[in-house]
């Protein structure tokens, strides 16, 4: 058949943007999707031009909405080709590693040379995460001085780089904001910049002086966010978004969801708690998007890669179809790229991921070395970026009990936690 050059054959196609979930063939040509055949009748004479996806799940190329990709320039930066593309992720969105003063380097030295598509949330602080409080060599962080939180520079940089910048990023935390003194003003400036540019604001909100509950005359989070903004790290066990006795979300959080604020996992090293995720699961209240917050300290454990975080959400009961939507169509729509990525459609660039759901029997840690026995895991089998097939490689041992054991030290700080201390707690 001359209309296609390569076929991904006989896989279960799950494409939430079009509501498709059935077996079919995907034909590629010239780096694009040329044909989708639900009769599985596509064929080519050369067997090497056919990938047998029978028994596998075929999805749009996975999108990780929260990573740190500014390798070598920031303490958190990882190599996204090595640790994302080889694990089935075709598009990553860097979550504020660069600000207006440092963005040019993220473009030139990372985005332009990576095979992975790299987009970005621009930090409201001009220097971004050049010395992030959680991973720098000294205490403090990026909004210890409000001089760096410059709305005009942020707006100009976004305007000059619309092809790559998709939003604004801010971390709200006492430890990186002059002991909380600068949080509310930085928050106001970040909202102003995002509003002027018509882009979403992604907010990290943990151990913050900015309350969840609305207080007269004060900002709140997520209360002061607007529809389309993103509340990342939504499953950590140390904030006040859930009422402890009833294990239900506070009215302000319920209202935020109704108003269209998106809730993102942002797993990271400290922002996924089995207890919180299980409590949310009982309410059938799933994150809108699943992301890793993959960086130098979350990569070796406990985040590992996007398919591992997806596996954790499957374990707590999130339906497979919803899990796929949370790493394809929903993040694409969240950043305004739904016409480019996040869907399998004829004429689209061929960003495609093939996975298999396998039996597993391991104890997998959350961010505090609390363990759950995982019986099913998603495994990446193949990935194409713009029609080019890239190898799947497992670089990190998973589970990694030696590294996981170092996580238990902050178990005592968790509002939600197991009754029994995890291994290696002190």
Q: In the chain, where are the structural domains located?
A: 63-334
Quick one: which of 236, 221, 230 has its CA closest to 267? 236
Q: In the prediction, which pLDDT does 299 show?
A: 97
First to last CA, the chain: 64
CA 349 to chain centre: 21
What's the CATH number for 63-334?
3.20.20.140
Query: Residue 259's pLDDT is what?
Result: 97
Question: If DSSP codes are grouped into helix, strand and coil, which group holds residue 254?
Answer: helix
Task: Report pLDDT for 245.
Answer: 83
Q: What gap in Å lies between CA 218 and CA 312, rounded to an integer?
A: 36
pLDDT for position 101: 97
Which parts of the chain register pLDDT below 70?
1-2, 132-137, 239, 425-426
Q: How far, in Å, are 28, 288, 343, 373, 386 from residue 52 at the CA level? A: 14, 31, 21, 31, 19
Distance, in Å, from the CA atom of 132 to the CA atom of 7, rounded to the nearest integer, reads 44
Residue the block writes with tokens 């930066």: 77
This model's pTM is above 0.95: yes
The 3-state DSSP class for residue 391 equals: coil
Q: What is the pLDDT of residue 321?
A: 98
Q: 7 CB contacts (<8 Å, ≥6 apart)?
A: 25, 26, 27, 28, 42, 43, 44, 49, 50, 51
Strands 201-205 and 352-365: unpaired
Task: Give the pair of three-digit tokens for residue 332.
Answer: 């694409």
DSSP letter (8 states) at residue 133? T
Query: What's the pLDDT score for residue 249?
Result: 93
Six-digit token string for 203: 């907010």
52: helix, strand or coil = strand
Encoded tokens for 326? 């949370």
* Integer Cα distance of 132 and 274 in angstroms: 26
Nearest C-alpha neighbor of 281 from the set 245, 234, 324, 341: 234
SS3 content of the chain, % helix, strand, coil (to 5): 25, 30, 50
Model pLDDT, residue 426: 46
Q: What is the pLDDT of residue 306?
A: 98
């Amino acid at each position: 058949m001359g209309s296609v050059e390569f076929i991904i054959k006989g896989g279960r196609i799950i494409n939430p943007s079009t509501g498709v979930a059935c077996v079919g063939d995907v034909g590629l040509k010239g780096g694009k999707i040329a044909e989708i055949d639900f009769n599985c009748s596509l064929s080519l004479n050369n067997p090497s031009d056919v990938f047998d996806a029978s028994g596998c799940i075929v999805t749009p190329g996975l999108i990780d909405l929260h990573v740190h990709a500014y390798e070598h320039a920031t303490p958190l930066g990882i190599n996204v080709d090595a640790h994302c593309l080889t694990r089935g992720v075709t598009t990553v969105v860097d979550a504020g590693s660069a600000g207006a003063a440092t963005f040019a380097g993220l473009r030139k030295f990372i985005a332009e040379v990576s095979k992975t598509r790299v987009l970005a949330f621009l930090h409201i602080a001009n220097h971004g995460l050049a010395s992030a409080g959680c991973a720098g060599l000294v205490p403090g962080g990026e909004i210890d001085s409000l001089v760096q939180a410059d709305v005009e520079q942020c707006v100009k940089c976004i305007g000059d780089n619309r092809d790559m910048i998709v939003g604004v990023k801010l971390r709200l935390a006492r430890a990186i904001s002059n002991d909380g003194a600068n949080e509310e003003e930085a928050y106001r400036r970040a909202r102003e910049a995002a509003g002027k540019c018509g882009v979403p604001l992604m907010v990290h909100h943990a151990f913050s002086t900015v309350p969840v509950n609305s207080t007269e005359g004060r900002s709140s989070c997520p209360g002061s966010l607007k529809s389309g903004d993103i509340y990342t790290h939504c499953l950590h066990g140390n904030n006040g978004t859930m009422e402890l006795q009833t294990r239900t979300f506070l009215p302000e959080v319920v209202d935020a969801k109704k108003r269209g604020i998106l809730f993102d996992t942002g797993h990271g090293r400290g922002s996924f708690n089995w207890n919180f995720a299980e409590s949310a699961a009982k309410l059938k209240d799933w994150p809108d998007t699943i992301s890793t917050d993959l960086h130098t300290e979350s990569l070796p454990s406990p985040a590992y890669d996007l398919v591992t975080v997806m596996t954790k959400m499957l374990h707590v009961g999130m339906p497979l179809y919803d899990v796929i939507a949370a790493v394809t169509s929903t993040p694409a729509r969240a950043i305004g790229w739904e016409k480019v990525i996040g869907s399998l459609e004829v004429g689209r660039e061929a960003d495609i991921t093939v996975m298999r759901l396998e039996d597993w029997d391991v104890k997998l840690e959350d961010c505090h070395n609390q363990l759950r026995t995982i019986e099913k895991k998603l495994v990446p089998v193949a990935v194409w970026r713009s029609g080019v097939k890239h190898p799947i490689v497992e670089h990190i041992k998973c589970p990694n009990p030696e590294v996981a054991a170092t996580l238990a030290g902050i178990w005592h700080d968790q509002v939600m936690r197991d009754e029994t201390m995890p291994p290696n707690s002190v």
